[in-house]
């Protein structure tokens, strides 16, 4: 028998291996196996197919690693769809789906050859360092050695040691502890209180005697369960010993699940009754689900979308099905997780890229055993749900749902819809500012649509005022920070009334540009074609693309005058200036620099929610989902920055951002205010914001998207060429352009430079293709593209040439 094996590698297709006869029974779909791939490497693969027959040339499966399959066919179908739709490899999807401990691979390991005598004096310095370390550690990996020698190329040194016969190179599989179950032991009934009978049974074997004595001691020392492993370690015996004891009927073995998070209990009072308009929305959702599995819940900020989600969570849980609650991005949504965790008495599974490997494993297996609720980012879609009933996609418009790197570059919302389709589950897409993608699906009748236009507690929507900056006179001090007198007055009033203020500034750091007043020289990053941002706290210039830092130059690097000045405004500078204008106010800042760690982020949020902070300055981090009751004013001093990006989505995003951030104002207690400063008060985004109804704006946007053949009407694909050699990069990009033009005509763009086209010493070029939204065209395009990529990579010197495919780029 042969098995089709999927490997966690970016290679097309699967590989066929022979199943050793004694493993045939055990070999079933979805179990992991250990196989050799390439000359020496060992990998964990996954059985994704079994067929009869043999093949002389085929390698054997070395081992089967699971008792139970880790995925089922339905999960594999989802993986296949994802790989196909997003033009990536199945191995990439496997890699993203399985927690690291489920993917052993081999590492080169050096061991000391104990039978070999050598004279240390004969060794070169580097070789001596290695042998010295080996005598202490027994084993070193390639990485360890690189660290010890402080260099990358260690081949020569290692070879020297091998040639001298001093070390052995061993290819060793790292079998990490992956067992979701623990094997535990207990006395068989007839031996339970009969130590004497036991000893008689084992008297002929030293090992068995030791094991039995160890088990007896353990029973006395601690409460059950006692694991097989504990007994083996304590008695210094092995699996065979324990197996013998089981066979003799002395010990019984059972398996228990490790850390299974299977409960879901609502804390008392956490599901307050729905109010009338929420009840109405719930009924409408029920009705919408009759005809479509996907419903867009469009509710203004503060309408209680979360309350409705909870209602559905309760229902689906009672029906015995699983629920996935998706949030866009972990750093920005700690607050939401806290809110949800407060609602449940039981532990909730939280799953995202930053939880520990241990928690990921726990989550993986709990979900596999049917745990009812997972809160997670897009990667949670790849968990092995058994009985999925509902996926909630909160803030469905959020761009962070799209994976940028590495492959598969999938969209969390769209993949959720597909997964639900496969699993016969429902999807709720929730937002106060839905994406155009979802609105079009509503218009085309694919999704249901339910609106909530009121805020909970009869709170009125905040009043939005525009400050026309073309008309404003400012003092020098005010001009420096860019706050009009009107804006400052509003802040003063709000603070006097004991309420809090949020200031939205979409740029972090102190000052975006550091330039010479004399010759105009701008300090640029050496690796990227962007100017560096001054960070006052660290007293350094930082590149926001590659994160490299530079000291602040005293004189101009170009004309050598002492004339370097800072221009522009970042959150850090804004906070400082605001403090000098309002010396008595307590101000805090929330951005990538201050809220990088979870602890720091939490501290900022707690202080603000306890009213210890009066003003919170922040980037888009403060726009999302925060629910603070005492915020009376939200100000946006520089709204124009938001819609001046050269991107076809910038108007849509600007409106979403401004609505979201406005929505933080006046959520409880009294009506809130929003003040927006702009030089373009007639801009459609501002006009729509003022009118309170975005339909007209969306319709206009959609018309334009249709005319210019953009998403959501067309499926866009971006192919990025990334190379240190500019000429080579440009040449291949143009080749692709011409090649695709033959099939797709003017729906292929000439290679264009992205906004920042040189990052970290790499030149970047993008080719855009606009495809019709049907499967046939998708398949055809993928074939063409793969053909091209294969051809390029087969050229001498091009095997590593990078072409990054991004379907539905954001
Ligand atoms: N039926 C209800 N009973 C009691 N409190 C409610 C109810 N519905 C909503 N609330 C409260 O109203 C506030 C706003 O609700 P929620 O945060 O769910 O709104 P939202 O629509 O998710 O807002 P956003 O889009 O801004 O995140 C919350 O503090 C919530 O606890
Ligand atoms: Zn840089």
Give the residue-averaged pLDDT of 437-448: 96
Classify residue 673: in a domain, yes or no.
Answer: yes
Tens digits of residue pLDDT in 313-365: 999 988 889 999 999 987 666 777 777 878 887 778 889 887 777 788 888 88
> Which of 306, 313, 451, 460 maximizes ligand 1 atoms within 8 Å of its Cβ, making it the mutation to test the pocket?
306
8 Å CB contact between 185 and 242? yes
Task: Transcribe 596-615 into DSSP letters.
Answer: -SHHHHHHHHHHHHTT--SE
Pick out the residues of the known binding site for Zn(2+): 516, 519, 525, 528, 543, 546, 556, 559
In terms of domains, do 82 and 226 share one? no
> E-strand spans in 52-89?
63-64
Place of tokens 């065209």: 777
Instruction: Give dist(CA 746, CA 754) in Å, integer.
Output: 20
- Positive or negative CA dihedral for 661, 663, 666, 667? negative
Closest atom of ligand 1 to CA, residue 274: 1
Whose Cα sits closest to atom 4 in ligand 1? Answer: 272
> Which of 297, 456, 462, 656 maximizes ligand 1 atoms within 8 Å of its Cβ, making it the mutation to test the pocket?
456
Q: Residue 173's pLDDT band (boundaries 50, 70, 90)? A: very low
The length of the chain in residues reads: 810
Backbone φ and ψ of 758, nearest 5°: -145, 105
Backbone φ and ψ of 391, nearest 5°: -120, 125
3-class state of residue 495 by DSSP: helix
Question: Tokens for 557?
Answer: 């690097």
Closest atom of ligand 1 to CA, residue 395: 25
Per DSSP, what are the bridge partners of residue 781?
none
Count the neighbouring beta carbons within 10 Å of the beta carbon of residue 178. 20
3-class state of residue 252 by DSSP: strand
Q: Which residues have CB under 6 Å of ligand 1?
A: 272, 274-275, 278, 299, 301-307, 432, 456, 625, 627, 663
Alpha-carbon torsion angle 149, 153, 158, 163, nearest 10: -140
Cα angle value 301/305/311 (rounded, 5°): 165
8 Å CB contact between 433 and 301? no
In terms of domains, do 319 and 384 share one? yes
Contacts 24+ apart (CB under 8 A), 403-406: 403/378, 404/806, 406/92
Flag the least confident range among 321-325, 407-411, 656-660, 690-694: 690-694
Cα angle value 237/238/240 (rounded, 5°): 125
Tens digits of residue pLDDT in 671-704: 899 999 998 899 999 999 998 888 899 999 999 8
> Which of 275, 280, 301, 302 maximizes ligand 1 atoms within 8 Å of its Cβ, making it the mutation to test the pocket?
302
3-class state of residue 371 by DSSP: coil
Prior bond of 225 cis (ω within 30°): yes
8 Å CB contact between 98 and 120? no
Return residues with CB closer than 5 A to ligand 2 (ion): 525, 527-528, 543, 545-546
Classify residue 790: in a domain, yes or no.
Answer: yes
3-class state of residue 522 by DSSP: strand
| Closest listed ligand to the CA of 454 | 1
Q: What is the pLDDT of residue 280?
A: 97
Closest atom of ligand 1 to CA, residue 452: 21
Q: Residue 435's pLDDT band (boundaries 50, 70, 90)? A: very high
Residue 110: closest CA among 166, 176, 148, 173: 166
**Ligand 2 center to 163 CA (angstroms):** 43
Residue after which a domain boundary falls, among 126, 149, 173? 173
Classify residue 555: in a domain, yes or no.
Answer: no
Task: Transcribe 744-788 into DSSP letters.
Answer: HGGGBPPPB--SS-EETTEEEEEEEEEE-SSHHHHHHHHHHHHHH
Q: Residue 188's pLDDT band (boundaries 50, 70, 90)? A: confident
The answer, yes or no, to whether residue 429 has pLDDT greater than 90, is yes
**Ligand 1 center to 38 CA (angstroms):** 56
Classify residue 537: in a domain, yes or no.
Answer: no
8 Å CB contact between 7 and 43? yes
**Ligand 2 center to 29 CA (angstroms):** 47
In terms of domains, do 169 and 189 share one? no
Whose Cα sits closest to atom 10 in ligand 1? Answer: 304
The answer, yes or no, to whether residue 119 has pLDDT greater than 90, is no
What is the greatest pairwise CA distance in the chain?
101
Residue 45: closest CA among 88, 108, 109, 90: 90
Cα atoms in the Cβ-side hemisphere of radius 13 Å centred on 633: 26
| Closest listed ligand to the CA of 656 | 1
Classify residue 271: in a domain, yes or no.
Answer: no
> Which of 300, 304, 311 maximizes ligand 1 atoms within 8 Å of its Cβ, making it the mutation to test the pocket?
304
Domain span including residue 282: 276-458
Question: Tokens for 38?
Answer: 């390439």
Question: Tokens for 194?
Answer: 């009969």
Query: DSSP H helical segments within 472-585, as ranges?
Result: 476-481, 485-496, 571-581
Classify residue 263: in a domain, yes or no.
Answer: no
| Closest listed ligand to the CA of 541 | 2
Whose Cα sits closest to atom 23 in ligand 1? Answer: 302
Mean pLDDT of the chain: 86
Instruction: Give dist(CA 485, CA 357) in Å, integer.
Output: 52
Burial class (CB in 10 A: 0-12, 13-18, 19+), 223: exposed
Question: Tokens for 489?
Answer: 């007055």
Q: What is the pLDDT of residue 259?
A: 55
In order of 92, 249, 784, the CA distances from 801 in angstroms are 18, 62, 18
* Edge-to-edge strands, sheet with 251-257: 226-227, 181-187, 251-257
Q: What is the pLDDT of residue 338?
A: 77
**Ligand 1 center to 457 CA (angstroms):** 9
Backbone φ and ψ of 729, nearest 5°: -60, -50
In terms of domains, do 480 and 629 share one? yes
In terms of domains, do 434 and 379 share one? yes
Flag the least confident range among 331-345, 458-472, 487-501, 656-670: 331-345
Closest atom of ligand 1 to CA, residue 432: 25
Give the residue-averaged pLDDT of 32-56: 85
Q: Are strands 631-636 and 500-504 parallel, antiparallel or unpaired?
A: parallel
Instruction: Give dist(CA 781, CA 786) in Å, integer.
Output: 9
Helix (H) or strand (E) holding 181: strand 181-187
What total of structural domains would you count in the chain? Answer: 6
> Which of 451, 627, 662, 674 maximizes ligand 1 atoms within 8 Å of its Cβ, making it the mutation to test the pocket?
627
Residue after which a domain boundary falls, among 458, 480, 495? 458
- Positive or negative CA dihedral for 374, 378, 382, 388? positive
In terms of domains, do 618 and 673 share one? yes
Pick out the residues of the known binding site: 516, 519, 525, 528, 543, 546, 556, 559
Tens digits of residue pLDDT in 663-676: 898 888 788 999 99
| Closest listed ligand to the CA of 626 | 1
Count the neighbouring beta carbons within 10 Å of the beta carbon of residue 555. 13
In terms of domains, do 161 and 212 share one? no
8 Å CB contact between 589 and 542? no
In terms of domains, do 389 and 288 share one? yes
Whose Cα sits closest to atom 18 in ligand 1? Answer: 304
**Ligand 2 center to 543 CA (angstroms):** 5
DSSP state of 36: E
**CATH no. for residue 646?**
3.40.50.300
| Closest listed ligand to the CA of 549 | 2
Count the neighbouring beta carbons within 10 Å of the beta carbon of residue 181. 15
**Ligand 2 center to 546 CA (angstroms):** 4
Q: 753-784: b or e for each residue (b if 16 or more CB lie within 10 Å)? A: eeeebbbeebbbbbbbbbbbeeeeebeebbeb
In order of 313, 432, 507, 575, the CA distances from 504 in angstroms are 33, 18, 9, 11
Whose Cα sits closest to atom 30 in ligand 1? Answer: 304
8 Å CB contact between 61 and 23? yes
Tens digits of residue pLDDT in 124-145: 778 788 878 887 777 787 777 8
**CATH no. for residue 777?**
3.30.70
**Ligand 2 center to 600 CA (angstroms):** 26
What ipTM was predicted for this assembly?
0.95
**Ligand 1 center to 134 CA (angstroms):** 61
Q: Residue 474's pLDDT band (boundaries 50, 70, 90)? A: confident
**Ligand 1 center to 55 CA (angstroms):** 63
Flag the least confident range among 149-158, 343-352, 623-632, 712-721: 149-158
In terms of domains, do 668 and 734 share one? no
**% of residues, the chain, pLDDT over 70:** 92
Instruction: Give dist(CA 662, CA 635) in Å, integer.
Output: 8
The answer, yes or no, to whether residue 652 has pLDDT greater than 70, is yes
Question: Tokens for 552?
Answer: 């602040």
**Ligand 1 center to 304 CA (angstroms):** 3
Helix (H) or strand (E) holding 464: strand 463-468
In terms of domains, do 305 and 208 share one? no
Place of tokens 């050793």: 20
| Closest listed ligand to the CA of 548 | 2
Classify residue 530: in a domain, yes or no.
Answer: no
Place of tokens 């979805």: 30
In terms of domains, do 234 and 345 share one? no
Question: Tokens for 636?
Answer: 């946006």
**Ligand 2 center to 56 CA (angstroms):** 53
Cα 516 versus chain centre, distance: 40
Residue after which a domain boundary falls, among 257, 288, 305? 257
Whose Cα sits closest to atom 13 in ligand 1? Answer: 302
> E-strand spans in 230-314?
251-257, 294-299
Instruction: Give dist(CA 162, CA 157) in Å, integer.
Output: 9
Classify residue 325: in a domain, yes or no.
Answer: yes
8 Å CB contact between 104 and 45? no
Whose Cα sits closest to atom 8 in ligand 1? Answer: 304
Q: What is the pLDDT of residue 494?
A: 95
In terms of domains, do 314 and 371 share one? yes
**Ligand 2 center to 764 CA (angstroms):** 14
Tens digits of residue pLDDT in 286-304: 999 999 999 999 999 889 9
Comparison of pLDDT for 107 and 376, the residue scoring more = 376
Q: What is the pLDDT of residue 363?
A: 87
Q: 34-48: b or e for each residue (b if 16 or more CB lie within 10 Å)? A: bbbbeeebbbbbbbb
Give the residue-averaged pLDDT of 229-244: 85
Q: What is the pLDDT of residue 233?
A: 79
Helices (H) and strands (E) in the chain, counts: 25, 33
């Amino acid at each position: 028998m042969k098995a089709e094996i999927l490997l966690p590698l970016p290679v097309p297709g699967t590989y066929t291996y022979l199943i050793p006869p004694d493993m045939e029974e055990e070999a079933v779909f979805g179990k992991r196996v250990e196989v050799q791939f390439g000359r020496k490497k060992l990998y964990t693969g996954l059985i994704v197919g079994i067929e009869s027959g043999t093949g002389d040339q085929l390698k054997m499966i070395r081992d089967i690693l699971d008792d139970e399959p880790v995925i089922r066919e339905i999960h594999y179908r989802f993986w296949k769809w994802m790989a196909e739709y997003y033009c990536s490899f199945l191995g990439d999807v496997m890699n993203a789906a399985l927690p690291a401990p489920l993917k052993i691979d081999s590492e080169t390991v050096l061991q000391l050859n104990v039978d070999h005598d050598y004279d240390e004096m004969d060794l070169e310095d580097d070789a001596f360092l290695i042998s010295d370390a080996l005598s202490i550690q027994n084993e070193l990996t390639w990485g360890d050695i690189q660290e010890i020698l402080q260099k990358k190329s260690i081949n020569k040194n290692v070879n020297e040691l091998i040639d001298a016969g001093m070390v052995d190179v061993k290819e060793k599989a790292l079998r990490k502890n992956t067992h979701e179950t623990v094997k535990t032991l207990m006395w068989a009934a007839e031996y339970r209180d009969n130590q004497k009978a036991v000893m008689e049974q084992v008297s002929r074997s030293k090992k068995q005697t030791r094991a039995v004595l160890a088990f007896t001691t353990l029973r006395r020392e601690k409460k059950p369960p006692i694991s097989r492993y504990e007994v083996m370690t304590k008695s210094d015996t092995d699996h065979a010993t324990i197996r013998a004891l089981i066979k003799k009927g002395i010990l019984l073995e059972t398996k228990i699940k490790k850390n299974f998070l299977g409960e879901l209990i609502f804390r008392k009072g956490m599901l307050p009754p729905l109010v009338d308009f929420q009840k109405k929305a719930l009924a409408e959702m029920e009705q919408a689900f009759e005809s479509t599995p996907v419903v867009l819940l469009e509710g203004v900020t503060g309408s209680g979308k979360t309350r409705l989600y909870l209602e559905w969570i309760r229902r689906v849980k009672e029906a015995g099905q699983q629920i996935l609650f998706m949030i866009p991005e972990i750093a920005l949504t700690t607050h939401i997780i806290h809110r949800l965790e407060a609602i449940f008495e039981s532990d909730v599974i939280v799953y995202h890229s930053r939880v520990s490997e241990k928690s990921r494993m726990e989550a993986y297996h709990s979900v596999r055993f049917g745990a009812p609720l997972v809160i997670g980012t897009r990667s949670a879609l790849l968990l092995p749900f058994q009985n999925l009933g509902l996926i909630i996609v909160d803030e469905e418009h959020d761009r962070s749902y799209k994976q940028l790197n590495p492959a598969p570059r999938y969209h969390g919302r769209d993949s959720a819809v597909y997964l639900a389709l496969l699993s016969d589950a429902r999807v709720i897409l929730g937002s106060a500012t839905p994406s155009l993608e979802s609105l079009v699906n509503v218009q085309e009748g694919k999704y249901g649509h339910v609106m909530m236009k009121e805020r909970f507690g009869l709170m009125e929507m905040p009043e939005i005022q525009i400050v026309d900056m073309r008309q404003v006179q400012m003092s020098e001090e005010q001009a420096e920070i860019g706050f009009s007198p009107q804006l400052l007055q509003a802040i003063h009033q709000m603070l006097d009334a004991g309420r809090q203020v949020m200031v939205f500034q979409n740029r972090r750091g102190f000052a975006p540009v550091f330039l010479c007043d004399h010759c105009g020289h701008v300090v640029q990053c050496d690796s990227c074609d962007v100017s560096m941002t001054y960070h006052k706290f660290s007293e350094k210039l930082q590149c926001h693309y590659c994160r490299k830092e530079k000291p602040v130059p005293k004189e101009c690097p170009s004309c050598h005058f002492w004339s370097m000045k800072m221009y522009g405004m970042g959150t850090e500078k804004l906070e400082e200036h605001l403090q000098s204008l309002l010396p008595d106010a307590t101000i805090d800042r929330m951005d990538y620099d201050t809220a990088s760690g979870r602890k720091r982020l939490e501290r900022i949020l707690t202080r603000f929610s306890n009213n210890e902070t009066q003003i919170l300055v922040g980037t888009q981090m403060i726009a999302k989902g925060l629910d603070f009751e005492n915020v009376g004013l939200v100000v946006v001093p520089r709204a124009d920055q938001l819609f001046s990006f050269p991107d076809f989505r910038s108007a849509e995003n600007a409106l979403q951002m401004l609505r979201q951030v406005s929505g933080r104002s006046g959520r409880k207690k009294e009506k809130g205010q929003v003040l927006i400063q702009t030089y373009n008060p007639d801009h459609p985004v501002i006009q729509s914001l003022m009118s309170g109804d975005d339909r007209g704006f969306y319709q206009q946007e959609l018309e334009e998207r249709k005319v210019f053949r953009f998403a959501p009407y067309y499926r866009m694909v971006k192919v990025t060429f990334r190379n240190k050699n500019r000429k080579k990069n440009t040449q291949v990009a143009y080749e692709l352009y011409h090649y695709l033009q033959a099939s797709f005509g003017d729906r292929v763009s000439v290679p264009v430079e992205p906004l920042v086209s040189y990052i970290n010493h790499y030149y970047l070029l993008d080719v855009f293709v606009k495809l019709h939204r049907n499967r046939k065209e998708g398949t055809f395009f993928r074939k063409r593209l793969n053909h091209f990529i294969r051809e390029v990579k087969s050229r001498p010197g091009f095997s590593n040439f990078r072409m990054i495919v991004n379907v539905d780029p954001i």
